[in-house]
Structure 1
Amino acid sequence: MIAILIGASVGGCGMNGRDGAFAQMDSSDFTGSIGAVLPAREEGPTDADMALARIAASDVLTKGDKDSSQPWENPTTGARGSVTPLAAAYSNEGRTCRDFLASYVKERTESWMQGAACRTSQGHWEIRSLRPWRKT
């Protein structure tokens, strides 16, 4: 019987004047020995993500549909998005070009990229630019 009483009094799970049967902390229990956990910094698209977005842009521009989008996904990074052509084609330095928007979604991060592509002499779409979208 004595062993049971000793265990209950020094076992560390005693009440110590606090209500409840569970261990609890208040501000006086904080030691500062463990640093604050900061949220992971969200990284932008990887080179592989950008390559897949470029392929999707080329595909959707090749289709030529006015109101279409082309999805893309990188299972390795978990990133995904879609590419949507904007407005009509225009001429630039004698080549047919189009602007487009590409979405980028990864976990809880969403952003947009703007791009421009021009048709080559072989009829393929060459992505001339793809960068973060800035409202004008």
Structure 2
Amino acid sequence: MTLILIGLSGGGCSLSRPESAYAKMDDAEITGSISPPPEREPTEGDLAFARNAASDVLTKGSKDSSQPWQNPQTGARGSVTPIAKSYTADNGRTCRDFLASYVNGKTERWLQGSACRIERGRWDIHTLKPWQQS
């Protein structure tokens, strides 16, 4: 019976400590040995899906359109958006620049590319590299 009384009598008590008594950690402090996951580079398969989406959206020719893409094998996804009007290259072919997003897990980045029109209205992707913002 004594045990029950002690448990019930301590149940309503609470301790109060000033806020300064607790340790505070700055958001910028990093503790522990877990490091953030490395950024994932696009695989050749991911780039193939992005190139295909670029060719599709450029073939449609719509000014303000984007084409989504996704690689079910890696889980990577993104979209491709033309960023400028077409222009005539030195070789006389019609070309166009575009941006492609790449998202895989927590990795998110942008790629810039250029493509030129080839036979039957399809587009040949000439460059696809990390975007250098100017």
* TM-score strictly above 0.5: yes
2:98 pairs with 1:100: yes
Cα RMSD for the two superposed structures: 1.3
Spell out structure 1 runs of 4+ moving beyond 6 A.
none
121-130 or 98-107: bigger deviation: 121-130
Which residue does 1:114 correspond to in 2? Answer: 112
Letter of the 2:116 counterpart: C
The alignment's TM-score, normalised by the length of structure 2, stands at 0.72
Deviation at residue 40 of structure 1 after TM alignment: 2.6
Which residue does 1:87 correspond to in 2? Answer: 84
The alignment's TM-score, normalised by the length of structure 1, stands at 0.71
What CA distance in whole angstroms lies between the structure 1 residues aligned with 2:57 and 2:119? 18
Q: Is the 8 A contact 2:40 2:107 kept in 1?
A: no
Give a deviation string over 1:4-30, Cα, whole Å, max 9, x none.
xxxxxxxxxxxxxxxxxxxxxxxxxxx
What CA distance in whole angstroms lies between the structure 2 residues aligned with 1:75 and 1:40? 21
What CA distance in whole angstroms lies between the structure 2 residues aligned with 1:84 and 1:108? 21
2:111 pairs with 1:77: no
Structure with higher strand content = 1
Structure 1: gaps (5+ residues):
1-34
Which residue does 1:58 correspond to in 2? Answer: 55
Structure 2: gaps (5+ residues):
1-31
Paired-residue identity, %: 63
